[in-house]
Structure 1
Amino acid sequence: MKLQGQLTDAQLQPPDDKISGIHVFFLIHSVQTGVGGLGFQRIIAQKAGHDSWMAVLIAGVFVQIAIFFMYLALKKRREDLIALHQRILGSWLGKIFSLVFMIYFVSLGAAVTRSYSELVQIWMFPDLSTWSISLAMLLLVFYIVSGGFRVVVGISVLSVILPFYLLLLLIIPIEHAEFSNLLPIGEATFGQLLNASKEMMFSYLGFCTFLMYYPLIKGGPRTQKWAQSGALFTMILYFVVSIITLAYFSEKQLLTKIWATFSLFKVVQFPFLERFEYVGLASWAFVILDNVCLLLWASVRILRRLWPQSSGRKFLVATLVLIFLENIILSGRDDINKYIQFVNQWGVVINFMYLPLLYLVGFFREKWRRVP
């Protein structure tokens, strides 16, 4: 007889508590549009120059492929990451790799919160301490995640809808753009584009939280169209922003803009509001909040699935403390950059190498068992 901790979430979750397929669009898209969307242009331009917009598309295609493999791995049994690991890797090894994902989610959440804290300090409150900004954000995260998965989903929907007006305001920089800055097309080598695509991955990371909430979705495999649509919308959004940025700034200017997207908002001025970037930064807090909430929910979910008798609230507090300490330790731009690069490399390995390999191992293992 199976223990409750060994059952899949699909068996434990009441059908009425599951979310509809369209919510997957918001969950995938919202977790991909964090701090990476505010400064990816300079990073990829360092690798591929004015052809760096191609790297946005290449990285986006890899995301679509990774989502396809996730559905292939999960759809037959309506599993989550924990059950998938236990089926393919066994109990102990599966638990170890599940914990690796938990640590990855927490690390990515720390990278997001620390980057946003730095952004607030640079653009709004230079004298405000890092710990106070992080503490305020993490208290909100604790309140939201404590409300359960449906509350987190609601925040994801709001984080897509409320800041959407910022995209419309990018029409103003277009009036001053020089699209000749994009020419000549094709100067970057294939190797340079791949390196730029690798750096671009940080802006797309977080979508593998899907592995934890897949059993909580109505429709299961039929929701792949929503997941792919969410990732596609993110790719189109980043593509448009990268084109506008490359056209507005010269290549030399862009290499000096750490937060290129917010530099574009400085162009926006109204008679009643001169520093519009303050409004943009405050609006983007919804996006950052959603990122951290979903990542923390997924990490706590992993711990609850591995140790179902333990308190989820204690796990949540522990992960929040870890993020808070990491935020304090990362004291300067060099430390933050190194940490983000580390998380990015980790994410590339997990999302685009490990997950397809895990599916293939499970696939051939099943084929081998069927051989008489």
Structure 2
Amino acid sequence: MLLALALTGAIGPFATDTYLPALPLIVEEFRITASTAQLTLTAFMVSLAAGQLVIGPLSDRVGRRTLLVLGSVGTALAAVVCALAPSIWILVLGRVAQGFAGAAGIVLSKAVVVDVGRGAGVAKAFATLMAIQSVAPVIAPLIGGAVVPFGGWRSVFWLLAGLSAITVVGVLVAVPESLPAASRRTGSVLSTVSDMRGVATHGPFIARVSVFVFTFGVLFAYISASPFIYQDMVGLSPTAYSVAFTVNALGILVSNLAGARLIGRFAPEKIMRTGVVGMVTAIVHLVVVVALSPAGTLGLAPVTVGFVLLTLSVGLVLPNAAALSMQATRGRSGSGSALLGAAQFGLAAVVSPLTGLAGPHSVIPLLVVMGACAVLVVAATWAVISRPVRAT
């Protein structure tokens, strides 16, 4: 079941990371600017966030499985629309639909884990789930780099359509309904809004979600800036960059797997705190590297050391922060998962353009964004540790 859930939640990384090498070809075919082509990324991220706010609370009332199936089917159909798009605006609309439908896998995979798990088992399941899902950003750039040169940018969407079709089969075969009718929420749309407000204003939930979201902000800032850092400042080729990005992404996979084994021996809060310390150390290391490097250039080895430490640390924080967040939803896991996911991808949409404000040859905006997010993570972590909450 975890494998099927991980696959439904991996559509987001696949739909972004495999797609990045295709942007120049889209600019050329439709004769548009790069910023217009990037609207397809922004539209996807915004729709991915908005879809979770709708699908998560709805699943608390109608159940998880049907929405998972419909989301996977919708993602496949939207990918076909994108692959056949005759204009940039049809492509943007297809990406909006793909993001909204793909939100089902992201928000409901977390909710299902909470439905069937208890206590430390939830944190372990989240670590395992994220370990499987973290394979996506490891292989997605390599797949995109291999497919686009031979099949063009449309081939990426045919690939995503096929992957979505596989998720439909996986959900039908391996994922039972995890929320029985007796446990579902009832009431009107107003009561749904009330449920979300109740979760969103619950102090322990806010603290735990803040750790997760701002840690993801640090990670996404790195992802957004990494092509410019490695290619324009370090001097790597696009192929060498893909290899470097994959090596760094392996850090998340390794720490997710290690974290899953540590849960049961150590409290999730302690593992999360260790990851936060490592993340702050990585950012300080990167600041020192930039301060000691000639303007506009960076060395491959010191930068990679910093980024590998960063991804290793993030891999310890995210699954435990997610598990602790979901345990603080007070029985409203669909609404809680929706709020967590919407905040996560909403912040990602904001962070991405900020890292490039000073151009491709400056890393200062990246460090500022990372530092600001890290400060908020430290404050939220302190709040989590000082105010423990009983699992629900």
TM-score, with structure 2 as normaliser: 0.29
TM-score, with structure 1 as normaliser: 0.30
